[in-house]
Every structure is written in C-alpha cells, then in structure tokens.
Amino acid sequence: MAQYERLFSTVRIPGEDTDKILHCEDSKHIVVCVKGIYYKLDICDSKNQFLSPTTLEGQLNWIVKDAESQSDYYSDYEKSIAALTALKRSQWANIRKKYLSSGVNRDSRRIIEKAVFCVTLTDYVPNSLTDKGKFLLHGDGKSIWFDKSLNLIVFANGTCGLNCEHTVADAPAMAHMWEYTMSREVLEKLFDENGNCMPFSRDFKQAKTKLPHRLIWELSSELKSSIQEAVNFSSLSNADLDLEVLDHNQWGKGAIKKCKVSPDAFVQLALQLAYYKDSKKFVQTYEASMTRLYQGGRTETVRSCTIEAKDFVLCMVQNKVEKEVKRKLLNRAAAKHQNLYRDAMNGKGIDRHLFALYVACKGLGYESDFLHKIITRPWTLSTSQTPHTQLTALPDANLHIFDDKLGAGGGFGPVSDEGYGVSYLFPSDYRIFFHVSSKHCCPHTSSKKFLELLVESMNEMLALFEES
C-alpha cells in the first residue's frame, strides 16, 4: 500500500549525483498546461471543500480562454520550459539550481513540483493507438513535466491518458487508480449529451473560489539556450522511439485457457519464439513480478529465457517434429515459467538479492567481477503484463456492451538500445493489447516486424492444441 500514498503530490527532484523524492501531503492545487502556459488551479474552496465537477469545469474553461488570449505574449522558450525535465538528470539539476532557484522562477517551479498532479490540454489529435501511445510516453518534447509522479494528458478529441514517473510507484498501482477513475465514467452518468458535467448534489454549497493563477518565467539568454538545447534533445529522442501498439482481437486469454496453459506463460514463450525467429539467438529476458506480499515490496525479476523455453523454441522452428512433441515441450516450459513467477512473488527470486549484494559491495569498498557482470548485462527483452480488473465490484468485461470501453493498458521504452520493451494486457477473454518499443537507431530491431512475428508465433502455438 505504500506506493498508493505517493501516486499524487509527488515529484522526483534532480540531483547532481542522486535524485530524491519529494512528497507534499498538504498539496491542494493542480497545475494545468494549455498552449505551453502553466496555471495553478486550487482544488478546494475557502471552506476547504473540493471543487464540484461543474465548478472545476468552469475553472478549466476559464484557463483555456485565458491561454488563447495570452498565447501570443509568451515566447516559444517560455512555452517549452518543461523540456528541461527531459535532459540527463545531472544536467537538469545544474540548470535547476542555477536558473530556477530564486525569484519568480523558483515560485513557479515550486508550484509545479508541489502540485497534486499536472494536466496538459493539448491540441494534438492521435490517429491511432500507436500515435496516442507515443505522445503519452514523450509528448511533443516540451509540454510534459516529467519529474511529476503523474501527468494527465487530454487530447483535442476528448480522449486522454497518463504519463507516470516510475520511481514512486509501479504500473499496477497507477493502473488501479486509473481503472477506478475510468470505470466511473462508464458506469455512472457523469456528463450530459453535450459533454458538460452533470449538476452536483443540490445539498452541496460551494464556498468562494479563487481564479486560476497564471505562472510566469524570467528567462536569461543562457536559460533560453538551455531550453533550446533541451527541445532539440527531446526531439531527437522522441523521433528515435519505434513504438507499435496492437489491439489483438482475433482471440484472447479465453482461447489460451482452453489449452490449459497460463496466459502469461503463453505470451512469454511466444516472445521467446518471436525473438528467435527474428535474430536466431536467445537473450536475457526480464519480466516484472510484483512483491505485494511484503511491506514496501516493489518488483522481482522473472527470468523468462529458461532452458525449457529454449528447448521449446528450437523444437517449434523444426517442421518435421510431431505436434504432440511440441505441445509437451510447450507445457513443460509454461510450467517452469509459472513456478518462476510464483517464486518471484514469494521472495524467492534472485535479482533483488544480487542487487543488494552489489550495493553492499560498493558501500564497503569491495569490487566483485561476478556481481558487476551480472548487474550490467543488458536486458535485451524487457517485458511486463499490466493487470486488469483490479476492482472486484466491476461488471464482467467480457460483456459485448463494453467492447469499446476496454483500455489498452500502458507501455514503456526499451531498456536496452538494442532490444525491445514489451507490455501486454488481457482486458477480456477475447482481446490482448500489445505495446512493443525499440529504437530506430538500432539496425537490428523493428517493432512492427517483431509484433508481426509475435502474432505469428502465438497463432502457431495455439494451433498445437487444435484437434486434427
């Protein structure tokens, strides 16, 4: 539960050597960014009551109108100041200390850092899940304050999503919160036919509220130069991200369960098969497992590239091997994966233990070639399953009336410059969402090709269980 306490009102402060986490329990405002202009919006009235939805709607409308009228008076540098948070941490720490530690710059920065969360209202309209996913990961390079634990990004067509800072919490905690928020919109009538908020309880009396406060910046020529450098850096990084998001709706975990195979193990084996088809080799693979059974628990590593997975893949790519043999090897590899996952959940994994030994060695002044090699080996395949339906009171997601309401989950960038980041979600028995990321600068990776091989591999594996 510790992670839930820091979902809101939390920021990662850059340091020259080490960052630190700042959590502000007394935060009572959010920050809204429209056309690159930042506004402080108090979420409580003079009687310390939360703003009603209709009052909040009015405040947001005021911000949008004000930003439209003020946009021409703000320079591109002022509108791009958030790009600084995308720089390397030590560089951003030095800029923050030198230029944003006094006067109005300090005041504006503190307002952003101490906000409950940030909201970006963008003019961008994504044309696909992939377009939406890319923008949520990195924006336009100058409109997301990446240090914040949570950024809510609303597109011009009314759709929205989150950009989350991973240090404070893992994906399941953020997904739990977001599932609650979005489920309410599906199950309750929160908006009228015109998209306006429904009137609040007539027993509620809103006290006096403050108008939103526009933030200002004083930019020296040196700070402008740093901002431009950050924008250029962000643009290059953003262009290098190769992301593909797929709504796989031919079949889902329901078909996998009929094979009496764990859906997670099935996808992990398909990832191994797809990567081998693409590169003709096996690589170190990371799958995140939650350690929620322990106080302060975060994650443990499931090393999915096992000997059993290797045996299955090598057998699977041979055309002359009987289907029964391939099926037995698949079941054997899936059982091994399930055991590894259970061990990781129950504190029997090895990677956090090895990392603790590595830190202890460094602290005591020792050097271990073994630990250094283990810790620095690249995770060429970094994978994670996003949990779904964490709320027990929700109706059955398999009901077709919810087909257009199922969320696609979230994704992340590749851990290795020469590898893939793969996130997947089972929202119902009939669909699987995949997010596959890599870098264009690597000549050996292609997210689109890998995704095609992944789907091909899953279909081949499912066919093993079909009756002749």
What is the helix (H) or strand (E) element at residue 418, kind and residue range?
Answer: none
Dihedral sign computed on CA atoms, order 345, 346, 348, 351: positive
Q: Are 285 and 383 in contact (CB under 8 A)?
A: yes
* Token pair 């264009």: residue: 440
User: What pairing do the DSSP bridges indicate for beta strands 10-13 and 20-23?
Assistant: antiparallel
Report the 10 Å Cβ neighbour count for 107: 14
State the catalytic residue, choosing from 166, 353, 372, 440. Answer: 166
Q: What are the b/e assignments for 408-430, b being 16+ CB within 10 Å?
A: bbbbbbbbbebbbbbbbbbbbbb
Residue partners of 43: CB distance under 8 A and separation at least 6: 28, 29, 30, 50, 51, 56, 116
The CA distance from 320 to 331, in Å, is 19
Question: Quick one: how far is CA 22 from the chain centroid?
Answer: 20
Rounded to whole angstroms, the Cα distance separating 193 from 371 reads 60
- One-character DSSP codes across 234-277: HHHHHHHEEEEEEEE-S--HHHHHHTT--HHHHHHHHHHHHHHH
Rounded to whole angstroms, the Cα distance separating 255 from 248 reads 13
Q: Return phi, psi of residue 241, to 5°.
A: -75, 125
Instruction: Return the DSSP state at 198.
Output: P
Which candidate, 168, 210, 189, 193, places its Cα nearest to that of 11? 168
Concatenated DSSP letters of 310-372: HHHHHHHT-TTS-HHHHHHHHHHHHHHHHHHHHHHHTT--SHHHHHHHHHHHHHHT---HHHH
Closest CA to 376 of 257, 284, 281, 258: 284
Is 29 catalytic? The answer is no
Q: Angle formed by the axes of helices 307-316 and 323-345, to 10°?
A: 150
Supply φ then ψ for residue 361, to 5 degrees.
-60, -45
Compute the distance between CA of residue 387 and CA of residue 292 in angstroms, rounded to an integer. 13
Catalytic residues: 166
